[in-house]
Chains A and B, each alone.
Chain A
């Protein structure tokens, strides 16, 4: 009963935020609301037993995406959007048509949380939940499915992150020789504000440590490469925000980031190639353990999650540096 009340409250908040996003015109407010939307969704995910997903949604959706939106708004110096023109009617019709089709579909969907839904009756459930301790041997079933059973999808996911990193680098990056630092007349944040400086110095080591914990503890609890990578990146982003972009660039030069992002993908693919060379199928971790399939699985999952973590960290920092380093855009200038 109490869960139902919390559910209703969260869903109501979610819908109100959604409507607010549609109606409000100040872009800064809308960006913050979208972060709040992600955070509320993360809470709902927790209620629906999706703890790994909630973790990722909070880190990526509420964290990283909001940073990117704010960065873009700063670069485009947008405050308020101009009046939406009269394309509301076709948009409304299309949205209503889609919604109607969806609700029509929902009538034949199995009920929420029904134990006899096809999803739960399929042999997949038994294999993942009952056989995975003997096949893979780690408690977090989501990690074993993510990294081992469906490890190839996760490989694709790492490649997607890598693609985003290099695409944004290609679009917004400037060479090291032309890096734009903040004009000298503005004091870096850390010199203006002692509280920020002290608190940032206290927090950042713990953030990084937590990221390492999440990386390696993903087998036993919610966590894994993606979440860890985003948290690690956010530690560095906090450093960049408080101590200045140049200081952060000294810690993580562009060449190193590029190399790490590539290395992450190559590590993941390399594990697959190694298993091929050892006589197994691509990403058949069992081969990595000598004779012991379970040890091989553990090693394989460790290595691929490490590859994921490295690539995601580097790519997220690359994204932030690309946006932050672009400087104030000059209207009317064509791309070079």
Chain B
């Protein structure tokens, strides 16, 4: 069981770590890094689905007969790009939040909003 499933389990442990970082940290950049780790771990899971024993990369060549499945690769190529796009927009928001609030900690920003509301 371990030999056939260790790939999945390691990807899942990494997903847990990524999710934990996203939820437990208040720093916006740290959250985004955690999100990144979470997403890359999911990619690991997908790619391990496509591998076949004694296979090779799915580039057709007369010397090989068994190829790993190309479909998970295609899906993950898309997902990687989606991931970087989300990270870019998230970081842009973090920069703007820093300019507006003077902090990139979600908790401090909420605190400042609360102070503003109390003062009003």
> A residues touching B (Cβ–Cβ < 8 Å)?
11, 14-15, 18-19, 21-22, 27, 30-31, 34, 37-38, 41, 44-45, 48-53, 56-57, 60-61, 64-65, 68-69, 71-73, 75-78, 81-82, 84-85, 87-88, 90-92, 94-96, 98-99, 102-103, 106-107, 109, 111-115, 117, 119-120, 124-125, 128-129, 132-133, 139-142, 145-146, 150, 153-154, 156-157, 160-161, 163-164, 167-168, 171-172, 220-222, 226, 319, 322-323, 326, 329-335
| SS class, residues of chain A in contact with chain B | helix
Interchain CB contact under 8 A, A18 and B95: no
Name the residue among B57, B78, B94 with the largest chain A CB count within 10 angstroms. Answer: B57
Complex partner residue of A139 from B27, B32, B60, B73, CB under 8 angstroms: B60
Interchain CB contact under 8 A, A146 and B74: yes
Interface residues of B in 65-87 (CB under 8 A from A): 67-78, 80-87
Interface residues of B in 38-90 (CB under 8 A from A): 40, 43-44, 47-53, 55-61, 67-78, 80-89
Interchain CB contact under 8 A, B69 and A109: no
Q: Given contacts A27-B30, A120-B52, is CB(A41)–CB(B19) below 8 Å? A: no
* Residue B5 lies at the interface, judged by CB distance under 8 Å to chain A: yes
Q: With a CB–CB cut-off of 8 A, which chain A residues contact B53? A: 113-115
Beyond known contacts A171-B93, A220-B59: 17 more, CB 8 A cutoff = A11-B10, A15-B13, A19-B17, A30-B30, A38-B40, A41-B40, A53-B77, A65-B84, A69-B29, A72-B91, A76-B29, A76-B104, A78-B104, A85-B107, A129-B60, A154-B78, A332-B101
